[in-house]
Structure 1
């Protein structure tokens, strides 16, 4: 009975983890829409500086790649994460 409860909790935690990854991807899609609407501005000397649209697109691609890698690792070790109840 105790093992079943632990396994159910571990499955729930893994499901929440996967949901969080999916939510992060959804938010990145919304961010991509905003980046696409941006246009470069002429920077004046001494003005506050923010990233250009091209820099943001590079950061976006890197974030997506790292999230994909994390999700792939999670799927690879899914059975281990569930069986150990996240004790690493």
Structure 2
């Protein structure tokens, strides 16, 4: 009985993790829309330095790649748990 409770808890935590990944991808999609609307500006000496749209696009691609790698690793871990029937 204790193993079933632990397995249910593990499934719940994994589900929350997957939902958090999905939410992060949704937010990055909104960010991509904003980056696409940006236009480069000339920088005034001594003013605040903001990232250019090209720099932001690079950061966006890196964040997406990192999240994809995390998702792939999570999927690999999920299949391992399913193959073991989520036993602890």
Q: CA deviation digits over 1:19-68, x for unaligned, max 9?
A: 00000000000000000010001111111101000000000000000000
- Specify every segment of 5 or more residues in structure 2 that has no aligned partner in the other structure, as ranges: none
Long gaps (5+) in structure 1: none
State the TM-score, normalizing by the size of structure 1: 0.90
Q: Larger relative contact order (C-alpha < 8 A, sep ≥ 6)?
A: 1
CA distance, structure 2, for counterparts of residue 83 and residue 39 of structure 1: 53
Separation in structure 2 between the aligned mates of residue 3 and residue 80 of structure 1, nearest angstrom: 14
Deviation of 1:77 after TM superposition, in Å, equals 1.1
Task: Assess, with a 3 A threshold, how the Cα gap between structure 1 residues 65 and 83 changes in structure 2: closer, same or farther.
Answer: farther
Counterparts of 1:22 and 1:44, CA distance in 2: 39
Aligned-residue CA RMSD (Å): 1.4
Superposed structure 1 runs of 4+ greater than 3 Å apart = 79-84
Question: 2:16 & 2:70 partners in 1: Cα distance?
Answer: 14
What SS does structure 2 have at the residue aligned with 1:49? coil
Residue in structure 2 matched with residue 10 of structure 1 by the alignment: 10
Equivalent residue, structure 2, for 1:25: 25
